[in-house]
Amino acid sequence: MGLQGVKAVFFDLDNTLVDTAAAGRRAIEEVPAQVINILQSKHQCDEGEAHMICNKVQEKLLKECHDPAKVCITDLRISHWERSNTRTKECYFLWKTTRLQHLTLTEETRSMLTELRKMVRLLLLTNGDKLTQREKIEACACQPYFDAIVVGGEQKEEKPAPSIFHHCCDLLGVQPWDCVMVGDSLDTDIQGGLNAGLKATVWINKTMTMPVNTYPLPHYIISSVLDLPALLQNMDHKMNAKLETDIGSGRCRGLLTWSQ
């Protein structure tokens, strides 16, 4: 039986269920001491230069734009560690391993998913390189909490294309208007849910500060994925929800932020 007319919930992975950004930052903070050994022994690099290289890699990761049709994600990230004309693969794989170790599904999130799955079907929908995303899924051990897992890199199209959302619906045997998409990206998660005609889209906005001219407009905004069950229980009659009427130029009239 559905929950307030909802039969399935689609979850994004990165920075929605797991804090990928924080794991990457922690990895880049922990790696320099080990990178120094690699760079000193192979490339005569001192400690200061090693830190400089790590800082530059962090900047490149934050600005990273990956086109799988042009380059594989591994080659792209190895290139981030280039020093002059030398590629230090050891540094990349060291960072990658360290980041995976920090990718965790918190106990609170596990409990939330377990309880929610008693009422609705759950699906993990993540964009990205198939190998990279599967490694993350394995690292945070989230498979047991979902009825299905769909990786964009394994499909013909990724979010926000309607086709991948309709594929998810087919896997679960539900209709788009029975489903809710939850994610942190307006461009992929929210736009994709709107494109596919889902019942609702829920934007994870940790800061709860609205950018000017927010677009696309999600149906709901929450600061933490842990707020989702309460939102779903009250989605239709909108208990304790606050109507946003003064965001941007008034286009956000009807947008709801949820506070538990």
User: For residue 32, which of 52, 59, 12, 61 has the smallest C-alpha distance?
Assistant: 52
User: For residue 120, which of 17, 45, 231 has the smallest C-alpha distance?
Assistant: 231
Q: Are 208 and 228 in contact (CB under 8 A)?
A: no
Give the number of residues written for the chain: 260
Query: Distance between CA 198 and CA 134 in Å, rounded?
Result: 26
Whole-number percent of the chain with pLDDT over 90: 54
In the predicted model, is pLDDT for residue 137 greater than 90? yes
In the predicted model, is pLDDT for residue 24 greater than 90? no
In the predicted model, is pLDDT for residue 146 greater than 60? yes
Total count of domains within the chain: 2
State residue 249's pLDDT score: 37
Residues 239 and 125 in one domain: yes
State residue 65's pLDDT score: 76
Separation in Å, CA 31 to CA 18, 51, 132: 21, 9, 19
Q: Are 112 and 98 in contact (CB under 8 A)?
A: no
Please say which residue of 67, 82, 102 terminates a domain: 102
Query: Does some domain include residue 30?
Result: yes
State residue 220's pLDDT score: 94
Query: Does some domain include residue 2?
Result: no
Residues 115 and 90 in one domain: no
Residues 243 and 135 in one domain: yes
CA 43 to chain centre: 36
**Residue 232 falls in which region: left (phi positive, over 0), alpha (psi -120 to 50) or beta:** alpha
pLDDT confidence bin for 112, thresholds 50/70/90: very high
Query: Distance between CA 93 and CA 74 in Å, rounded?
Result: 9
Query: Does some domain include residue 3?
Result: no
pLDDT in tens, 182-197: 999 999 999 999 999 9
Residues 60 and 146 in one domain: no
**CATH number of the domain that 88 lies in?**
1.20.120.710
Looking at every residue in the chain, the average pLDDT score rounds to: 83
State residue 70's pLDDT score: 66
Q: Are 185 and 12 in contact (CB under 8 A)?
A: yes
Q: Which of 38-47, 92-101, 167-176 has the lowest mean pLDDT?
A: 38-47
Task: Please compute the mean of the pLDDT values over residues 235-255 and round it to a whole number.
Answer: 43
- 226 is in which domain, residue-wise? 8-18+105-258
Query: Distance between CA 38 and CA 52 in Å, rounded?
Result: 14
Token code pair at residue 3: 């929950």
Residue with tokens 């709801």: 256
State residue 84's pLDDT score: 38
Residues 44 and 123 in one domain: no
Query: Does some domain include residue 55?
Result: yes
Sheet of 255-258: strand order equals 148-151, 121-126, 8-11, 179-183, 200-204, 220-222, 255-258, 241-244
| Cβ neighbours of 154 (radius 10 Å) | 15
Query: Does some domain include residue 1?
Result: no
| Cβ neighbours of 218 (radius 10 Å) | 26
State residue 82's pLDDT score: 66
